[in-house]
Amino acid sequence: MPSHFKGIKSASYGTYSLPSNSHSYLHKRSNQEIPIEASSFETLSSSSLSMLASSNSTNTTVLRGILPACFPSLSSCESMSRNCTGHGSCKLKFTDKDAGGGGAKCYQCSCSADVRTNKDGTKKTTQWGGPACQKKDVVAPFWLLAGFSVGLMFLVSWAIGTLMTMGSEDLPSVIGAGVSGVPRR
């Protein structure tokens, strides 16, 4: 019998017994979870801050991972979001008065729109979103395209339905009287 089956007792066909806890795979692989405390948030953010501090604010590479919704300080907001990727600025969103001490502060990126003037004089506005203003906001163009597509499909189906109902109607009797069948011989 292989070594990983030592805790299993042999039984008759169709029945089995569970392995003991000392030989369980789940018991060996389980990781203990550590509860997060308010002080550990500061520790986590400072460790991840030191990891991102090496990259300068003009770095144009894509931000990887999930950014927190709230930064504990203005400097951590600016460094971890790479100064809101150049599409906004870090601002104090709120202060949690229940957090004890002076209150926990929450800094977030406040995104601003980019207005660009084209060669022909027209202006193009780009809205930005996300925790570091790193994503283009495409909600308005999406709803414009989706609404136009659904409206066009409704209009075409209504027109086809109207033509189908007109084709199945009987002709009026005045027109039908002038139509003769095959002449008799």
Report field, pTM of the whole predicted structure over 0.85: no
- Residues contacting residue 165 through CB under 8 Å, at least 6 positions apart: none
User: What pLDDT band is residue 11 in, cutting at 50, 70 and 90?
Assistant: low
* pLDDT beyond 50 at 57: no
In a domain, 42, yes or no: no
Q: What is the mean pLDDT of the chain?
A: 75
Note whether residue 99 is domain-resident.
Answer: yes
Confidence of residue 43 (pLDDT cuts 50, 70, 90): very low
Structure tokens at 65: 């991972």
**Mean per-residue pLDDT, 140-162:** 96
* Token pair recorded at residue 137: 């906001």
128 in any annotated domain? yes
| DSSP run (H or E) holding 96 | strand 88-96
Q: Which residue has the higher pLDDT, 177 or 165?
A: 165
Q: Specify the pLDDT at position 50.
A: 46
Task: Let me know if 8 is exposed, middle or buried by CB neighbors in 10 A (0-12, 13-18, 19+).
Answer: middle
Q: How confident is the model at residue 54 (pLDDT cuts 50, 70, 90)?
A: very low
Alpha-carbon gap, residue 91 to 110, rounded angstroms: 6
Domain total in the chain? 1
Q: Which pLDDT score, from 0 to 100, does residue 32 have?
A: 58
Residue 53: what pLDDT?
43
Residue 76 lies in a domain: yes
Mean pLDDT of 148-153: 98
- Domain-located, residue 89: yes
d(CA 70, CA 112): 18
Residue 95, domain extent? 69-137
Place of tokens 């202060």: 95
Evaluate whether residue 127 is within a structural domain.
yes
* 170 belongs to a structural domain: no
Q: Tell me if 106 sits within 8 A of 70, measured CB to CB.
A: yes
Q: Is the pLDDT of residue 169 over 50?
A: yes
Q: Quick check: is 107 in a domain?
A: yes
Which segments within 45-176 are labelled E, that is strand? 88-96, 104-111, 114-117, 123-126, 128-129, 135-136
Rounded Cα–Cα distance for residues 95 and 72 (Å): 10
